Structure 1
Amino acid sequence: MSDKKTNHADARDKSSVDETADRKHASAAPPPPSPSPSRSPRVMTVVAFAVVVVVSMWIGGSWGGLLADLGRRALDGKGEEAMPSVGSGGHAHGGGPPAAPTGPGQDGGTITIDPVMSQNIGVRIAEVASGPLIKTIRTVGTVDYDETRVRDVNLKVPGWIERIYVDYLGAAVEAGQPLFDFYSPDLFAAQEEYLLAWRNRDKIGADFVPDAAEGAQDLVAAAHTRLKYFDITDEQIEELQRQDQPQKTMTMRSPHSGIVMAKHANEGMRVELGMQAYRIADLSKVWVMVALYEYELPFTSVGQRATLSLSYVPGQALEGEVIYIYPYMETKTRQAMVRLEFDNPGLLLKPGMYANVELKATLAERATLAPRSAVIDTGERQIAFASLGEGRFEPRNVRIGVETEDGMVHVLSGLQPGELVVVSGQFLLDSEAKVREGTARMSKGRLAADEPPAMDQAPMWPEPAGSYFGRALDAYFGIGDALARDTPEKVWARARVLADAVAGLFAAEIPGGPEFWKQHPEAVTIGVEALGLASESDLSGARLRYANLSVALADFVMATGVPPDFGTTVLKLRCPMVRDGQGGSIWLQPDGVVRNPYFGRQMQECFEERTVLPVTGSTHSPGQHESSRDMP
């Protein structure tokens, strides 16, 4: 243990001396010191690493190697200590000279700018955060009647309206309230029939006709039912019994409560069988119809909560929910209608009104979030500049997903929570990086056009690095197979194997030394996600971490290639139904039967396209693409 500490101290001292010499050689007078940011990535990493070490003690000793390797790599960032090599006994140790700068003012992949210049060009930084990923959709809706609460009052017999009680549109009516008095010969005859059967119900009967009394009761019931079918209430029938004579007109009453939205009844008019006299709508609940664009539909689901507000009623909001998403789109507008339901206290919402509607969808409980202004989108790739402190900045290739309402974006790879990124002035930094890259290449007698393809620069995998890489791929494939079979306990076990394999890969010697790991920050993401996956107790959470792990591993394999002796073709497949609206999600698997890890046993063969990943040292263009339509 003491030998390891001595080696690390010697490496740090040597690296410090070399760096001092380089700085003196570059400039006789050192630049004024840069103001340190309030929270540097190094400080955040130290805190994070301390927490991880404590967790490792609780989880188990077999994880200590990976945690230590990840911590040392994150804490140093350059020199041989950041890329441990394998000594006798297979233990990682430091040593070796630090990497030479690749350009003026540049330390490896970083850019060093005088703090006065940074201030003059307006460089500002912000912290990469971790929090819930919430997608907010704001739109305008139209209030409409709840069609399930609209009732018609129709006439079952022809006749004449003698008197009308509800004589205007918009009138509020209650169930049982009189609507109009109605005369109909058929209705008058039905009253007489009922009274005749009622009067004779106890008179019919004789010893020689034992069933006559029962038949009389059946006649009363039949006549009573006929009046009911004419919409005569039980109270009106009882009143008819007390008066014992038919009435010329019967009062038709409202069977429902609500607002009159259509009226066709007038005093003295003749009505025909089946005519609509009134249409009554219950406005205690209303629908709100909103039109959403197709790219917003993946973030909308039935049962999702919605908030409604009126611009002319400030401070008041109503809560509702999505109850239906129409299964077709308007081809001209590329929009689909979505139906929301809201309670309508005091009839505040009136059909035909416009209202502001807000829908929120929680896509992840915890995700990496960065300011949108920190990302430069060139059309082919997305770049962010990480601030390393002391006037140093590092360009990072990042992948982003959904943008939130507060100007943050979901970072899929390239940045970690706690790091600091440039949010203003990064275009000038980008220009500076390109100028220095061109200068460095010209000093070496090479032009950018002469650079070989990325795969030609990929290192061959010496032992034991190749074995560790192959073991990591096997463990990852086992995780995907366990998720496809809905067996989380196997996921955790395989994740531990993957974490150990990544630790061994970090410890093994790789051609290119520390510069290799600086060019592949996604390797750290693989290790971190493996640790998180091993401690993930929820299957859905495990699939989310697996998606992040797959993105990082795919980037790493595309850049470095599959070890030639791995023995099988590795495929990258994409499922568009995962993370809708973000381009779906990918996973890797060996060539063979497709096993989708994101839906378990429900849709194991679901995928849209697959790509053959290159082998290390191959000269063909990476990623032979193949499309398929094995979608359900």
Structure 2
Amino acid sequence: MKRSTRILGAVLLLAAVFAVGYFVGSPSRAPEKPATDQPAADGHEDHDHAAAEQPAASGESGGDVVWTCSMHPQIQLPEPGQCPICFMDLIPLTDGDGDGEVVSLRQIRLSSRARTLAEVEVVPVERRAVGLTTRLTGKVAYDETRLAEIAAWVGGRLDTLYVDYTGQQVEGGERLASIYSPDLLSAQAELIQAAETLERLADSRSTLTKQTAQRTLDAARKKLSLLGLSGGQIDAVLRRGTPSDHVTITSTTGGVVIERHVTEGAYVQTGAPLFTVADLSRVWVVLEAYESDLPWIRMGQTVRFATAAHPGETFEGEVVYIDPFVDRSTRTIRVRLEANNEDGRLKPGMFVTAAQRTEAGDDATPLVIPASAPLLTGKRAVVYLQHPDDPGLYYGQEIVLGPRAGDVYIVREGLSEGDLVVAKGAFKIDSAVQIKAKPSMMTPDAGAPAPAGHDHGMHAAGPPGAGTEMEMPDEPAYDVPFEFARQLPVLPQHYAMVEEAVYAARQGAVGVEAVRSAFKDFYDAVCAIDPTSITDQDAALLWKELSMLLRNDSFLGSEAEDVSEAARLFRTFEGHFAELRDAFPLAPPKRAALLQAPPAFRESLTQLFRSYLAMHDALSGDDAEAARAAADELRSLLGRVPADELSGEAADVWQEASGAMQDALDAMEGGDITAMRDSFQPLSDGLTTLITRFGGPDDTPVYEMFCPMAFDNQGGTWLQIQPDVLNPYYGASMLRCGEVRRELAPSEPATGDPMESPASSLLDTPAAFRQALAPIVSAYLGVQLALADDHLPTAREQARVLTLTLPMVDASGLSEAAATIWSDARASLEQGAAAIESSTDIEAARMGFLTLSEGMLTATARLGAGVNRDLYEAFCPMAFGNEGASWVQESEEILNPYFGASMLRCGEIERPLGVR
């Protein structure tokens, strides 16, 4: 009892000591700096511990200090304290990446000293022929297609063996054995009797009797044939006239007897095996390959091998079969060669060693990086690139690797030739990036920028096809330029196709090929999007990150081996697409129903818009008098609009919009050009409402423009009919300041299909004008076919014809909008044709053809050029360094003018042209 009491007391005392030590020694949330007017306890008066522990807290650090946890780097706070997860003290982290260019969410900047400590080495990504010598072992085997089993056709006693040992060489038709068979004796007797009967009935007048005798003879011959007698043996029986009780078994093929199943004197049943004969003129060589060897082994390859029996000599065989499974015990895959063995020197059972040299990239020299560069995460990998103009700036890139070839990896997706990849020190850089809570190999989802009020977290990806209908957010996180936003609606369409294909494949309705095709289409779509018009840095960085991830997802999905792998890849793909959907405007803008209005009202709106354009031109040209005159005309027209017949919602929309326009015009009256510019914004807002709800002028595209600097950087909008910026708020001082925000289109009826394609923008042009364009279209098509045929002289000749024909086009009958469009198209046609005419090599001509095609696409799609011909817009994603390029052609079969014969069929038809 006393002992137990002592033990309990010791435990309590120990617990008390730990408790006191915890509360006394526990670090505070903010380490206190010792008083400077008292010496330190250890006697080192000048040793400032606080300064040593908080080096980044001073203003000399060159960046904003954040406090993070070394174990949980996603925790980043503006003040010191403890980690809310593990309660460790936070450490200071200076964010110095803000100095200089920002190119990626995964970037980090290292000082010269840090690069030295991390032993960072970079090498350029290069294209070069790589290969691997694969060494395999195996053995010679019989060709199973050349094995023959010799069996007894009849039952009986084996009286004589003409081949009595294995290994004996036999020829086709050679005697192997003789069998005594009572069944054979009776069958021969039946044959002889049937033949004699038919002979006696030769003079009979009864046709039926002779036919019966003939059928009996045929049946007897058939019976002997089934008992193993050849046609010659049956004829010999008939000539002999007496039955025999023995049958001779012959070999059906030439070769070597590799197995004898019977002995002389034995009784055998019908079908019993007697001998196995193998034709050794061709043999199999069965090799054992590891999984890592498979990328370098292809059907039809020639492989050299050697045997110990013939030192210094090599043999050749062709790969004819690769096992579709892995041996569970050896973890190898059997690879079968077929080898010629006419001289018989290859003996089945011999061990062989094979050395196979395979070059990578049958079609093109592959991109390669050092094997030490990637941080492997499966088929995907993370590499770090050095900025070409900033040696201290590094950023991560997720890529898709091909097979390893010795000391290099083949890169299949994600890098370009000349990129500077970190060959040594990548893991250290990744660790530093991870500490900064940025996307890295270990934490790929960290660090995405999110505007206030928007959540960019990854959505949980449910099973393909089993979730609810995909919904777009009411308002995307980023307001991106029109030129970028107009490209995005194609992505959810292709995403839906992928989702549907995966779901159908899991249900067994389609095969994995359909899923691969859907992923490939999405990959092509996301690669075709041009993000260069994005001006918001955070939006540009997030697009770069998400598009990279989606490209890799869809690239891997396009090569999925089976449905299970495709479904697994889709779950990752779905999460990345959810982030994209939250951040960017993937859906076309929803349009309200088109309001009904009398024709006279719509005509008045068209006149209002024309006067508005006149005022816009005056303000952008700094012409106050012309602007004032246009405002007076607008005021007059606005008061004469016949709006009395409007009712309901149409009347409400008109009253509100016209009231705003009237207030703006009243504010302009008597004012200078500055006052008119200040009121031009509400005037534009009112007219924008009218055009979007009642419809704009027929056959005229209307663009809403945006200047971010107008009105003290609050931004201002206005309307134009051409996409080139003409800023009315600044005039000549900043005429080109701004961008296209969107293209206004008439609202669609509420009953319309939301997925239906928008109406064509083909303008009504005079028949004489379209007829004048016909020879220009013909000359253009001549250039296209000549370049596809790699024939520069013909291309130059057709370009000359086009140049001579252009001045003959009379554009006087065109509307104002059509004339503006034709002016731009003609300039491109003239410039492109001149470049082709003066080109000295075909590549220069193809560069000119790109400009020529821009003009022709406009002429065909907007002005009706070639309207009586079946013209198509084609697109090649690989042209001009994978930037992609379009052209016009008359055939649905791709004839690529940018590559010619080298890749004549590269590309796809985008759309038919000239269709209303």
TM-score w.r.t. structure 2 length?
0.38
* Match of residue 258, structure 2, among 248, 257, 261: 261
Measured in 1, the distance between the counterparts of 2:374 and 2:230 equals: 72
Paired residues for 1:17-416 under 5 Å:
100=99, 109-111=108-110, 113=112, 125-130=122-127, 139-204=136-201, 209-247=206-244, 249-287=246-284, 304-312=299-307, 314-322=313-321, 325=324, 340=336, 342-346=338-342, 347=344, 349-355=346-352, 365=363, 368-377=367-376, 382-386=382-386, 388=388, 394-411=394-411, 415-416=415-416
Secondary structure, counterpart of 2:575 in structure 1: strand
Task: Tell me the equivalent position of 2:532.
Answer: 503
Measured in 2, the distance between the counterparts of 1:216 and 1:126 equals: 93
Secondary structure, counterpart of 1:203 in structure 2: helix
Per-residue deviation at 1:254?
A: 1.0
Deviations 1:374-410 (A, max 9, x none): 2245999733353748965635343342323343324
Measured in 2, the distance between the counterparts of 1:503 and 1:162 equals: 92
Per-residue deviation at 1:263?
A: 0.6
CA 1:396–1:415: 2 relative to 1, 3 Å:
farther
CA 1:411–1:141: 2 relative to 1, 3 Å:
same
Secondary structure, counterpart of 1:217 in structure 2: helix
Paired residues for 1:513-528 under 5 Å:
none
Measured in 2, the distance between the counterparts of 1:373 and 1:419 equals: 16
Measured in 2, the distance between the counterparts of 1:293 and 1:473 equals: 44
Q: Is the 8 A contact 2:481 2:533 kept in 1?
A: no
Secondary structure, counterpart of 1:267 in structure 2: coil
Measured in 1, the distance between the counterparts of 2:572 and 2:428 equals: 38
1:578 equivalent in alignment to 2:575: no
Bigger-Rg structure (1/2): 2
Q: Matched residue pairs, number?
A: 430
Give the aligned residue type for 1:504: S
1:610 equivalent in alignment to 2:574: yes
CA 1:375–1:416: 2 relative to 1, 3 Å:
same
Q: Is the 8 A contact 1:206 1:212 kept in 2?
A: no
Task: Tell me the equivalent position of 1:454.
Answer: 447
Per-residue deviation at 1:249?
A: 3.5
Q: Is the 8 A contact 2:151 2:272 kept in 1?
A: yes
Measured in 2, the distance between the counterparts of 1:496 and 1:275 equals: 67
CA 1:615–1:261: 2 relative to 1, 3 Å:
closer
Secondary structure, counterpart of 1:191 in structure 2: helix
Deviations 1:53-79 (A, max 9, x none): xxxxxxxxxxxxxxxxxxxxxxxxxxx
1:465 equivalent in alignment to 2:472: no
Q: CA RMSD in A?
A: 5.5
CA 1:481–1:202: 2 relative to 1, 3 Å:
same
Give the aligned residue type for 1:212: T
Q: Is the 8 A contact 2:258 2:278 kept in 1?
A: yes
Measured in 2, the distance between the counterparts of 1:377 and 1:149 equals: 47
Runs of 5+ in structure 2 lacking a partner? 1-59, 62-96, 102-106, 438-444, 455-475, 502-513, 584-916
Q: Is the 8 A contact 2:322 2:336 kept in 1?
A: yes
Give the aligned residue type for 1:454: G
Task: Tell me the equivalent position of 1:46.
Answer: none
Q: Is the 8 A contact 1:458 1:617 kept in 2?
A: no
Larger mean CA deviation between 341-350 and 146-155 belongs to 341-350
Per-residue deviation at 1:266?
A: 3.0
Measured in 1, the distance between the counterparts of 2:144 and 2:377 equals: 49
Q: Is the 8 A contact 2:109 2:392 kept in 1?
A: yes
Per-residue deviation at 1:499?
A: 3.8
Larger mean CA deviation between 339-348 and 127-136 belongs to 127-136
Q: Is the 8 A contact 2:375 2:427 kept in 1?
A: no
Q: Is the 8 A contact 1:403 1:410 kept in 2?
A: yes
Measured in 2, the distance between the counterparts of 1:196 and 1:617 equals: 95
Measured in 2, the distance between the counterparts of 1:247 and 1:207 equals: 31
Give the aligned residue type for 2:447: A
CA 1:615–1:389: 2 relative to 1, 3 Å:
closer
The structure with more strand, counted as a fraction of residues: 1
Measured in 1, the distance between the counterparts of 2:496 and 2:361 equals: 24
Q: Is the 8 A contact 2:401 2:411 kept in 1?
A: yes
CA 1:361–1:480: 2 relative to 1, 3 Å:
farther
1:477 equivalent in alignment to 2:492: yes
CA 1:134–1:210: 2 relative to 1, 3 Å:
same
Deviations 1:174-213 (A, max 9, x none): 2211112333233233333323333443213565755333
Per-residue deviation at 1:219?
A: 3.0
Secondary structure, counterpart of 2:199 in structure 1: coil
CA 1:212–1:549: 2 relative to 1, 3 Å:
same
CA 1:406–1:365: 2 relative to 1, 3 Å:
farther
CA 1:198–1:462: 2 relative to 1, 3 Å:
closer
Deviations 1:456-486 (A, max 9, x none): 5668899763656544432433555689999
Q: Is the 8 A contact 2:488 2:529 kept in 1?
A: no
Measured in 1, the distance between the counterparts of 2:240 and 2:229 equals: 16
Measured in 1, the distance between the counterparts of 2:544 and 2:128 equals: 22
CA 1:608–1:287: 2 relative to 1, 3 Å:
farther
Measured in 1, the distance between the counterparts of 2:420 and 2:410 equals: 15
Deviations 1:545-598 (A, max 9, x none): xxx78336x8xxxxxxxxxxxxxxxxxx898673449x96799xxxxxxxx9xx
Q: Is the 8 A contact 1:387 1:422 kept in 2?
A: no
Measured in 1, the distance between the counterparts of 2:527 and 2:121 equals: 41
Q: Is the 8 A contact 1:135 1:403 kept in 2?
A: no
Measured in 2, the distance between the counterparts of 1:372 and 1:232 equals: 68
Measured in 2, the distance between the counterparts of 1:458 and 1:580 equals: 39
CA 1:401–1:574: 2 relative to 1, 3 Å:
closer
Measured in 1, the distance between the counterparts of 2:289 and 2:430 equals: 42
Give the aligned residue type for 1:408: V
Secondary structure, counterpart of 1:181 in structure 2: strand
Per-residue deviation at 1:308?
A: 3.8
Per-residue deviation at 1:235?
A: 1.9
Per-residue deviation at 1:145?
A: 3.6
CA 1:191–1:608: 2 relative to 1, 3 Å:
farther
Deviations 1:1-23 (A, max 9, x none): xxxxxxxxxxxxxxxxxxxxxxx
Give the aligned residue type for 2:370: P
Q: Is the 8 A contact 2:125 2:417 kept in 1?
A: yes
Identity over aligned pairs, percent: 21
Measured in 1, the distance between the counterparts of 2:212 and 2:148 equals: 37
CA 1:213–1:334: 2 relative to 1, 3 Å:
same
Secondary structure, counterpart of 1:225 in structure 2: helix
